[in-house]
Amino acid sequence: VWVSARCLSIDSDQFSTLRQLKKFLDNLLLDRGYTALHTFWLRINFGIFYPDSIDDYCQIRPWVCHALRSNVQVLGIVHHGEILTIGNAFTSSYLKRLQLRNFDVDDWFVKKLFSGCPNLEELELICCFVNIIKFSSTKLQRSTVTTTDDRSISCLGFEDMVIDMPKLVSLDIKEVPDRNLYFVDVSSLETASVCIDESSFASSQVDCNVLSALSNITSLRSLSLTVRHKVLERDVLRCAKFNSLTTLSLGEWCLGSGCSSLLHLLQRSPKIQKLILHLTDVGASQCDHPEQHAVVVGDPTCSETQRPFNCENLKKIEINCPLGDKRIHVIVRILYENINSPTEINIMSH
């Protein structure tokens, strides 16, 4: 039965010690040989309450190498513990999807991965220490990148993280410290979710092209953009039209100066059907104390208000906000004053 199994999912929770896991997995892989594998998923969660744990990639390297030699197509190494560093390159013409959790990922590893696995289509880096300057692949179609929650780990100075992936269809990237995202060629994107916070930028003067680069993509249909920094306010003015965009999800970065950035984006999204705004407790509390440099919604005078425009396809606006957020009535009024077409607005308080 083990020899014929094409999919193996091993979870350390089923073992009381690391020694038991190693004994089981070593025997399992030895008995099955290099019979072709489709999926090999390894979840390791030996925490502080266990007598031992994985603290070196060399401890799991033989299992990963066995999977690659077995022509695995889907490989997942989900590690809960100390950040691990992969000291060898992955080489397989069969590997199509890779997920890593809690690993140190740098330019050397990424370059070797894309050259050694030429048919890789999906890469997920979850809670990893991302120390990448150039993210380039001609084959990758889907990518997810989230960084470790340990902010004591940081890269060596601020750098651009260049993303050059012409075949990429889906991108989900969240809060990469010390790395300013810079898109070169992401012309095939259909869905994009980008979350950027203050730790990504050296200063507010950094040139960021996230919005202007995405606005040139004719296939982009869904965009979620959460930014805790003012760098995008300049990039908004460089945007072309989002001609295929139907769903737009934004953080409160777009609400300053009478929602000018929000209105600018809506005017350049002729097919927009749904708008989602995410307001935070921090923004709401700062609104009560504007001296704390809040993202405050300005209440524009008549002379500052733009000429109303049509969003014929916009049928629903959803605003997620803290209970009692004083910015809501201003946002709603600005939207109704500037959008001619009737639109349903739902306010979801939390």
Q: Where do the DSSP E strands lie in the chain?
A: 7-11, 39-44, 74-79, 84-85, 97-101, 103-106, 122-131, 134-136, 142-147, 159-164, 170-174, 179-185, 191-196, 222-227, 247-251, 274-278, 316-321, 344-349
- The confidence band for 56, taking pLDDT boundaries of 50, 70 and 90, is confident
pTM reported for the whole predicted model: 0.88
pLDDT surpassing 70 at residue 228: no
> Sorting pLDDT into bands at 50, 70 and 90, what band is 289?
low
Per-residue pLDDT for 295 more than 60?
A: no
Whether pLDDT at 117 is above 90: yes
How confident is the model over 156-176, as pLDDT tens digits? 577 889 999 999 999 999 978
Instruction: Check residues 150 and 232 and name the one with the higher pLDDT.
Output: 232
220: how many CB neighbours lie within 10 A of its CB? 21
Write the DSSP assignment of 314-326 as a string of letters.
--EEEEEE-TT-T
Report how far residue 229's alpha carbon sits from residue 220's, in angstroms, rounded to the nearest whole number.
23
Tokens of 288: 């009560």
258 backbone φψ class: left, alpha, beta (φ>0; ψ -120 to 50): left
Residue among 173, 202, 304, 194 at smallest CA distance from 253: 194
pLDDT in tens, 300-341: 443 344 678 889 999 999 999 999 898 999 999 999 999 988
What was the pLDDT predicted at 100? 97
pLDDT of residue 114: 96
Q: Which of 193, 253, 197 is nearest to 221 (CA)?
A: 193
Q: What is the DSSP letter of 306?
A: P
Signed CA dihedral, 53, 54, 59, 60: sign only: positive
- Cα separation, 278 vs 292, in Å, equals 20
Write the CB contacts of 335 (distance below 8 Å, at least 6 apart in sequence).
259, 317, 343, 345
**Alpha-carbon distances, residue 270 vs 191, 276, 305, 309 (angstroms):** 17, 16, 20, 10
Structure tokens at 88: 């060898």
Q: Which of the pair, 183 or 154, is modelled with greater confidence?
A: 183
* pLDDT tens digits along 86-109: 988 899 999 999 999 999 999 999
The predicted structure's pLDDT at residue 51: 58
**Coil, strand or helix at 313:** coil
Triad 300, 273, 195: Cα angle to 5°: 70
Report whether 310 contacts 270 (CB < 8 A).
no
Is 247:316 a contact under the CB 8 Å cutoff?
no
Tokens of 249: 């999800």
Tokens 């502080």, located at residue: 48
Residue with the bigger pLDDT between 264 and 149: it is 264
Query: 240-280, pLDDT tens digit by residue?
Result: 999 999 999 999 889 888 899 999 999 999 999 999 999 98
Q: What is the 3-state secondary structure (H, E, C) of 106-150?
A: EHHHHHHHHHHCCCCCEEEEEEEEEECCEEECCCCCEEEEEECCC
Closest CA to 212 of 199, 197, 225: 225
Average pLDDT of span 70-92 = 92
